[in-house]
Structure 1
Amino acid sequence: MLLEDLPNEVFIEIIRCSSTLDLLRSFYNLNLRISQLLFAHFRTSTIDFRSTTLHDFRLVCREYLPLIVNQITSLRLYNDDKTPQQMEVFLEHGLTLHQLSNLQSLSLYGISLQETMFSTISQLRFLNRLTLADCSLSCNQTASQNFSNTIWSLPALTYCYLNISFKRDSFILPTVESLSLRCLSIWGIKYDQIQFNTICRHTPCLEQCSILFNMDFSDPVDPFQHEFPSMTRFRLHSSHIEENHLNYVLQTMLNLRQLIVDIDSLDSHSSSPIFNGYQWETILRRYLPHLQVFRLRMKFSFPDEDDLDGQVADLLRSFRGRFWLEERQWFVQCQWNEEGQACLYTLPYRFTDFQTSSSMQCLSTCPNNELFSTFHYVDDLLMEYYVTQPEIVSSIRFNNVRDLSIHPSISNQFLSRISQLEQVTSLTVCITDSTDTNTDLQTLLNRMPNLSSFGFNPWSLHPRRLSLLRLTHPKISLLDLRYAWQHLEADDCAMLSQSPLGQQCEVLLVRIRKCDAVLDLINNMSNLRTLNIQFDDDHFEETNEDEFVPWLQNQLPSTFLISRDPVYATDIHIWIG
């Protein structure tokens, strides 16, 4: 049977299992029937070129995207460690966002936003979902306000996620009203109560909101003049909250059904470093009569390290009243270490990240410790292991971890808390004096068959180089060695490029002493497609004079794309083409 003779049902299944790039290269313009199936797929699926090589992405922009612009309803573009400068390549081929006349969903990751994009985005009249994640914008507050108004003026927009780093003292603050926006998340900037009030007043139909809040005791309290009856879900992140500020915010959301509060590292100057159960009960009873879901996480330090057990008991006692255990059946758990660092959270644990250690103690208000012992939603886990401290047995288990940070010499008992190590795709390790960098690391890698990313955390001691370079794993394609050595010398780069992991590496993040070593890495690592470099004597942030990017552009082929990261200026990206 010929490929063209396969029934539609089979082709549809093939399409669902294939990447956008593979579909275009394999099936585009094969015949009218298959082209129609592809168009139908593009109209309902996201065009995503994550991890695409520069050569392939240029091919797509040159040969395919101009022919399907009217079919695209959802698009993602990246500027990250794997695929830097996708937007630049997209634009240099004469493509613009407003050509995508039927675009309904746009996601940009790590993009340096330009003021010229404002008018382009304003023409996307069918856009109902906008995601700008880890992006940057360099402009004054007037231009920033114009950008905000552009977004708030999109007639069909219902969902908006904004995580933007402003290079100047600017922020998202619209002056026009959006009647379509229902779900809004704003990160990267801390908003005070008055600014949040302004956002809500210009988004009167808002139903779901997530925001990074600054509620310092010194900020003036501005009683809201408007109620927001449409708000049903509210997620608040802050490093500090004062009770009167929180009261003024919540009393405007009488129809709230879900409240998520995440407080991280409360300021030590606070007169009340955390809210106890009595305070939360008062707030929830008084202002949120329709609340159905309450999720809480508070990271803090106990004021007295000499009486930790007593302070934990007092805190948990405040969550053991009739309101918590009988009326709502909302349970909390507190974990703490010997230094008094603690975290209190509601059960079941529904946040996606979690941090624990082998010496961490836990107590909860739940009568059955096994009822919520598996943290199903955690996919990003940090496990600290202290060989010099007694290991405390815990019932907490994890079964969906994808991103793991860990000590290689961890005990089997502690590691057994992760039930499915084969699901881990990203591993970050901490090297200490007790680590056998060859045996411990290789054993750990062998237990994670689907690992694709491997690196070291900033607190690692420098591992023995030859031991590290002997490690093997069939699927690792990204190496983050920025903390494995101070800066690589020329001989280090030579050894790395000839090592098993170096030969198969596609994405490399590394610190280098001298420029010349970059050329050796590129010439000798045959699978390398993206390089992220930090140079030892790069003073660009202090002087604003760039000697490295021009030098690299002069030494490397003109088909390579070389740029500084728009947020982390010491990072230089090389996309090999």
Structure 2
Amino acid sequence: MFKLLDLPDELFCEILRYLSAFDALFGFLNLNSRLNRLLSPFTRQIDFTSVSYEQFLHYFNDILPVISKQGRLYALKLGDRRTPGQIELFNRMITSNNRNYITDIDRVFVEAPSLEHFGHFIDGYLRTLPRLRILSIETETLCDSDFPKWTKVILNSILPIPSLTKLSIRTPVGPSLSRLPDTMMLTSLTHLTLHVSAVTDLVILIKRTPNLEQLSIRMGWWTSGDRTLVKILDEMRSDHCRTSFLPKLRRFSLTIDSIISFQHEHLQQVLFRILNEHVTSSFSFILRSCIKNDKDSTVQLLDGQLWQQLLSPYSHLRKFDLFIRISDSNNADQQEDYSKTFQSPFFREKKWFFSYLKPSRQNDNILYSIANKTIELFDISLNPPEKFHHFPMNYAPHLAIDQTDTRYHALDQSNFYHVLNHFPFLQQLTLTDVKLDAPVILPVNTLSLYSLKIEKTQRILPQLLFSIFPLVNTLSISFPVFDDQNEIFNLQYNQMKDLSLFNIHPERIKRVLLFLNQFPNISFLHLRLCNRRFNDDSLLNQVKDILRQHSSLISVKLEFDRDFSVPINWTIEFPDRVKMFLSNKTFDGVLYHLWF
């Protein structure tokens, strides 16, 4: 009789790769010393971001006491992005009895923290960790009213942590560093990723971080008309003895969301104080907004001769990445002339090559370095086909294909696969107005591709969609694309874990119930319902039916275009399922986020 324990270590490790950390520990921890050794990758770090409420409690009460005796825990990951209320629960669970299990943590990763409880998490836990070296914080949304509080948390609680060497804070809006105390020096930091408001914040920052080796900045806006910036640059210009404020900087990345006014000399002066001619080996420049017309001062960024003048003093620079969007309303001939300036002997000798894609999505053009390895969304249209004959290799993780304004909406299979083959590390694919109705479409087997978003697409059969994208486990789509009164949802897609359905009309919600039967292993569900003219009680009862149907659910987002007339306490409505929930006002309604 076959026994699982008879398998060699290599095969057993392969099986463990397909399990979540919790399932692996729950199933095999402490059965014998051999399994404990094979489980070591799961016992040195804790990831709470994809566990249910009960699994979280089991981690704290049963698993932590065991794995803390087997070796040191290095990393902790938690947050409210998928599991609302988790940071609040973590604050409550940390007691004198279990604190010792997680005091040796040296790296912490936090996703979408609720600001209400994040301050206590920092002061009550993070700042007590004697070995904390790496801290990463990511949040996708930030209310205007929370901006002053968020700035205060960053400046007063996070930046002063003395043990930090690597810090990453990714937010939609950056703090104003003008409030940074004059005496504060962040000498321990060697790696920093930060979103700042303006270029003056960047200049303030580099004066306080002399030991940085890697710096990645996303800037809200650049304005050369800022009087404070002009004053700072004048002071820098008068200091002839100083060059870079960062003598150890090896890599620098600068992403600018928008430019209000621009002078190339100011960019040159700022980079002169950042890049080090003896050390810096990599520089990346990304402009997220679009250069609108030829009279725009930012058109200087398209001039290869000016870039050559700026970069030539840095003899150790081995890598230069560029990503700039240009409006198609610009003079086409002049754009071609600019692109030729990046083909000078200087760039060829450095082996820095550039491509000029036109048009991309929304008829914008993109000037970018080859091979493109930025994390920016890379968007294209598949027409005309001939422009992809010499399409270069591209390492961007997120691709959008938009066929809205093209003559040929039908999917051209050869072009589609030709493009996908040039994105070998593609993770997320967005298709807008792309018809998936070609007679024969082969499966897309890009191993890294896990997420698919479909916009403005006509009706498609689920079996066709999942035959084209068999490896996708995350899907975002409008429900009417699937909905047909005559369609029978009788297949199952076990790989689907994360599903978002939009534009659901309440009278069709029973069809949603049938549709969801195809996904028995769904863990994360997002439903956007148009309930403006629908009875609250009837809608609530039908939502209850959906939530009761799937025992595998970990969290659910329910988005309505109007709130219920009587506030809903979801833990009371679903006492056996919903353990915690958060509610937020959205631009056009309300969002309830439930943790099961």
Show the counterpart of 1:542: none
Alignment coverage as a number of residue pairs? 541
- Distance change (3 Å), C-alpha of 1:446 and 1:9: closer
- Distance change (3 Å), C-alpha of 1:108 and 1:170: same
CA distance in 2, matches of 1:343, 1:298: 6
Deviates further, 463-472 or 293-302? 463-472
Show the counterpart of 1:58: 57
Query: Does the CA contact (< 8 Å) of 1:134 and 1:165 recur in 2?
Result: yes
CA distance in 1, matches of 2:514, 2:404: 34
CA distance in 1, matches of 2:381, 2:463: 22
Show the counterpart of 1:284: 311
Show the counterpart of 2:202: 196
- Distance change (3 Å), C-alpha of 1:145 and 1:85: closer
CA distance in 1, matches of 2:557, 2:84: 10
Q: Report deviation, 1:233.
A: 0.8
Query: Does the CA contact (< 8 Å) of 1:300 and 1:342 recur in 2?
Result: yes
Show the counterpart of 2:85: 85
- Which of 219, 224, 249 is equivalent to 1:217? 224
Query: Does the CA contact (< 8 Å) of 2:52 and 2:554 recur in 1?
Result: yes
User: Matched residue of 1:266: which SS?
Assistant: strand
Show the counterpart of 1:349: 372
1:232 matched to 2:254: no
List per-residue Cα deviations over 1:17-69 (Å, max 9, x = no partner). Answer: 654313432333435x35863785456x4322443233222222222224545
Query: Does the CA contact (< 8 Å) of 1:127 and 1:156 recur in 2?
Result: yes
User: Matched residue of 1:564: which SS?
Assistant: strand
Q: Report deviation, 1:556.
A: 1.7
Query: Does the CA contact (< 8 Å) of 2:79 and 2:112 recur in 1?
Result: yes
CA distance in 1, matches of 2:17, 2:482: 43
CA distance in 2, matches of 1:101, 1:561: 27
Show the counterpart of 1:454: 475
- Which of 228, 240, 262 is equivalent to 2:286? 262
- Which of 110, 113, 120 is equivalent to 2:112? 110
Percent of aligned pairs with the same amino acid = 21
User: Structure 2 unaligned runs (5+)?
Assistant: none
- Which of 493, 515, 528 is equivalent to 1:499? 515
List per-residue Cα deviations over 1:66-94 (Å, max 9, x = no partner). Answer: 4545732111113224x333323333334
List per-residue Cα deviations over 1:422-475 (Å, max 9, x = no partner). Answer: 65322111234xx3423xx53232122222122227xx9866444787485512
Query: Does the CA contact (< 8 Å) of 2:445 and 2:471 recur in 1?
Result: no
CA distance in 2, matches of 1:197, 1:387: 42
> Could you tell me which amino acid in structure 1 is paired with residue 126 of structure 2?
I
Deviates further, 493-502 or 4-13? 4-13
List per-residue Cα deviations over 1:202-227 (Å, max 9, x = no partner). Answer: 21101111111221232233224762
Show the counterpart of 1:373: 392
- Which of 275, 296, 320 is equivalent to 2:343? 320
- Distance change (3 Å), C-alpha of 1:534 and 1:15: closer
**TM-score, with length taken from structure 2:** 0.78
1:125 matched to 2:130: yes
Query: Does the CA contact (< 8 Å) of 1:254 and 1:289 recur in 2?
Result: no
CA distance in 2, matches of 1:240, 1:456: 30
Show the counterpart of 2:354: 332
- Which of 528, 538, 554 is equivalent to 2:553? 528
- Which of 159, 164, 179 is equivalent to 2:171? 164
> Could you tell me which amino acid in structure 2 is paired with residue 211 of structure 1?
I
List per-residue Cα deviations over 1:375-417 (Å, max 9, x = no partner). Answer: 2x2332111225851589966422332321124515869988x
Query: Does the CA contact (< 8 Å) of 1:422 and 1:450 recur in 2?
Result: yes
- Distance change (3 Å), C-alpha of 1:198 and 1:312: closer
> Could you tell me which amino acid in structure 2 is paired with residue 405 of structure 1?
T
Q: Report deviation, 1:185.
A: 0.5
> Could you tell me which amino acid in structure 2 is paired with residue 156 of structure 1?
S
CA RMSD of superposed structures (Å): 3.9
List per-residue Cα deviations over 1:71-130 (Å, max 9, x = no partner). Answer: 32111113224x333323333334587862210110011111432233222221211111
> Could you tell me which amino acid in structure 2 is paired with residue 574 of structure 1?
L
Query: Does the CA contact (< 8 Å) of 2:29 and 2:36 recur in 1?
Result: no
CA distance in 1, matches of 2:29, 2:408: 61
User: Structure 1 unaligned runs (5+)?
Assistant: 540-545
For residues 419-498 of structure 1, the aligned pairs below 5 Å read 420-421=445-446, 423-432=448-457, 435-438=458-461, 442-456=463-477, 464-466=483-485, 470=489, 472=491, 474=493, 475-482=495-502, 485=503, 487-489=504-506, 491-498=507-514
Query: Does the CA contact (< 8 Å) of 1:128 and 1:159 recur in 2?
Result: yes
